[in-house]
Amino acid sequence: MTARLHVLLGGGGVGKTTLAAAYALALARGGRVGLLGIDPARRLQGALRLRLPDLEVVVPGTGQLRAALLRPADSLRRWAAEACPDPEQRARLTANPFFLVLADRLASSTDTIAAIRLAEWAERDPALSDLVVDTAPGLNAIEFLARAEKLAAFLEGRLVGGLRWLAAKPRWGPVTWVIRGGARRVLGGLARIVGTRMLLELAEFVSLVQSVLTTMLERLERTRCWLREDSTEILIVTTIREDAAYTARQLAEALRRLGLAPTATIVNRAVPCPLAEELSALGLGQLTREPAAVVRYARAYAAMQSRVVEAVTPLAPMVAIVPAARDLDEDGRLDAFAALGDQLRVALGQGSAPSADFACRLSHINP
């Protein structure tokens, strides 16, 4: 893989989607960049104010940025068409109830399809320089990184062989149960739970989907290697919230268990460091209700910010502090997003030094 991969992970509502869009927009000034949303809730479209299909489209006004939103049903149909040139076979596959369930965007299949989709993107667009990936919130996203191993283990397993054997015998009656044999005994037991019709449908699905699966597995394997390349950035995002910092720690631990290491932790929606000190010197006495409440809130926010920064500092070699952005939902949004992306790049040490107002906290923590 020649393109650099950037994966953003983090708890819900920390601003992953916004930061992924911002980062991609900023990177797109210097090269051909892809942005993939895999969140089933489809927030990326809201952030870009654009309806995104499964296959990447150029984001108007950015030139070099292509964005897509994972729609597992569309991805699967495209891969089926790619692997089954015979229209009749393809029609049977796409009408199979298992295929339909898989395609029905059930949460458990999204992560796998996303991982495959990444490798597909790199294949389709060899000129790509960067691919930014937004992920599902919280620890679900780790599934997306771990899935490759899980799925490959299952597909290569003995049971799949058994299922293919089952599909090859259309006249399949109760006598079969008596036949001994590992996979058969297992299948017999399974049929008691799920019923024979369902098992036959599954068997047909497996046999039809075989060639599709081969390509899928190859792509999964490529994504697995891509994630481990030096150029890959794994970014854990948190915001000024106790629970978001807790999730960040859980994510860092889960990554370590997978043999992956986060590149940086991003603390999003930060306020300038001098705020806490200056506000604490301010008397609340002479203020009316609204300003007093806002000052009180701002003090608590700044205090929470230091706690969060301290908590996430040990998680990765770098902490990137990103200021709270204000103009994201006004007109000219794309500019505001790109400006935020530039701030993120600066905070990640790409380009000029970070602004002193935000860097002070870093030097305070990493003297």
Partner 1 sequence: MRQLLKVSVARKILRDTTERTALSILPRIVFVMGKGGVGRSTVSAALGTVLASRGEKVLIVEWTIAEAIAPWFGLPPAGTDPCLVAPDLSVMNYRLDTALRQYFADHLGLGLFYRRVIAGTHVQRLIEAAPGIAELLFLGELFWLTTFAKSEVGLHFDRLIVDAPAAGHGASLLELPMAIAAIGASGLLALEVDRVMRMMADTAQTGVLVVTLPEELVIEETLELVPRIHRNLGRQPLAVIVNRSVAGLVSGVEARPAWLDALAAQLSPAACDGLETIYAELAKRARRERELRHALDGATALGTYSLEDQLAFADDVSPRAVIQALSAALTRQLGDAL
Q: Which of residues 137-156 bind partner 1 (CB under 8 A)?
A: 137-140, 142, 150-151, 153-154
Decide: is 228 part of the binding site for partner 1 (CB under 8 A). no
Residue 147: enclosing H or E segment and its boundaries? helix 140-155
The DSSP string of 38-74 is --TT-HHHHHHTS---SS-EEPTTTSSEEEEE--HHH
CA distance 310 to 307: 5
For partner 1, which stretch binds (CB under 8 A), given 25-33, 93-101, 207-215, 333-341?
93-101
Stretch that binds partner 1, among 20-28, 121-129, 183-191, 227-235 (CB under 8 A): 183-191
Distance in Å, CB of 126 to partner 1, minimum: 31
The reply on whether position 193 binds partner 1 by CB under 8 A is yes
* Single residue of 125, 233, 310, 357 touching partner 1 by CB under 8 A: 357
78's tokens:
């495209």
| 241 interacts with partner 1 by CB under 8 A | yes
Q: How far apart are CA 316 and CA 236, in angstroms?
A: 9
Find the binder of partner 1 among 20, 271, 348, 362 (CB under 8 A).
Answer: 271
Give start and end residues of each alpha helix (H) in the chain. Answer: 16-27, 43-48, 72-83, 87-95, 97-103, 107-124, 140-155, 158-167, 182-194, 196-208, 210-227, 242-257, 274-280, 289-312, 333-347, 356-365
Rank residues 129 and 246 by Cβ distance to partner 1 and give the closer one. 246
The partner residues of 57 in beta bridges, in order of sequence, read 67
Give the nearer residue to partner 1 in terms of CB position, either 58 or 106.
Answer: 106
Residue 284 binds partner 1, judged by CB under 8 A: no
- Name the 3-class secondary structure at 231: coil
Q: How far apart are CA 116 and CA 98, in angstroms?
A: 19
When the beta carbons of 256 and 296 are compared against partner 1, the nearer one is: 296
Tokens found for residue 46: 């809201």
Q: Does 184 bind partner 1 (CB under 8 A)?
A: no
The binder of partner 1 chosen from 4, 7, 17, 19 (CB under 8 A):
17
Q: How far is the CB of 325 from partner 1 (least distance, A)?
A: 9
CB 35 within 8 A of CB 134: yes
Should residue 104 be labelled a site residue for partner 1 when binding is judged by CB under 8 A? yes
The yes or no reply on residue 186 touching partner 1 (CB under 8 A) is yes
Angle value at C-alpha 174, between 155 and 154, nearest 5 degrees: 10
The answer to the question of residue 75 lying near partner 1 (CB under 8 A) is no
Q: How far is the CB of 304 from partner 1 (least distance, A)?
A: 7
